[in-house]
Amino acid sequence: MTGRTFLLLAVMTALFGALGFALAGQQGMLIAFLIAATMNFFAYWTSDTMVLSMHHARPLDPASAPDLYQIVAGLAQRAQIPMPKLYVMYEAQPNAFATGRSPEKGVVAVTSGLLDLLDRDEVAAVIAHEIAHIKNRDTLTMTVTATLAGAIGMLANFATFLTPSNREREGGIGGLGALLLMILAPLMAMLVQMAISRTREYEADATGAAVCGNPEALARALQKIEAYAQGRVNLTAERNPASAHVFIHNPLSGAGADSLFSTHPATKNRVAKLMALVPSLTRPASAGSPWRKSAGSEAPRTRRPWG
């Protein structure tokens, strides 16, 4: 976990504590936290099956995609994590996501559009980004964040059922101060949650670039994904907008980036950070690299590099 993520989580925790004592006292804070923790623990434990089912992802086996499997296996080895399970979503919009409650339960899912529209190095770079999420245990980080944000929202809802005398008896505040906290605290929690999500994307870009050794390929992939996503609506994602944050690029049409209410950084900012890594991370392709072919060994253009 980076220092920025830790700081944002500390802000969220402080906000939860202040709101709990101010509105509902220690007992109300404990109840809200327990309810939110229970809900999000269930979501954390079943996150992989839920999101895969939600997006109609289908498992890929080594026989159907041997080259893609070789790429994933090589990147997982470099990242020092177990080989994740591999899934495909038959969706024209290029995109990908990672899930799984631990590196041992890691899953990488890619769309058919990503495989059709990106070249071999770019596909490998995108997968490296997703492997970085698994390596960095971002599912756990976002579950903790969601628990705190959910608890803050519940506290605000609980407070609407408390009279001023109830709040004062519980050690809380009354009047205008309570009203402002009920409105502003959930909004602030959502903003912090979005900021943590954007921070984790930047960190996965940096880690993924280090894993594949090709930040330029990841930068090109992000630019292509953004360009190709225009005009290719992901209807499944539109029907399930709560899952948008797991993708490498926001799959929702009309979604902004790098705003206070965005889960993803702007592509141009991600590209700039990746290009700054080029001098220190780029290395020549080697014959043993599972994500690059040696010179003259590229498959014909009519054959995709993952089949």
Binding-site residues sit at: 129, 133, 201
Q: What is the dihedral of CA 82, 243, 277, 117, to 10 degrees?
A: 90
User: Which entry of 91, 104, 122, 130 is annotated as an active-site residue?
Assistant: 130
* Distance (Å, whole) CA 73 – CA 233: 31
- DSSP run (H or E) holding 111: strand 107-111
| 122 carries an active-site annotation | no
| Catalytic center residues | 130
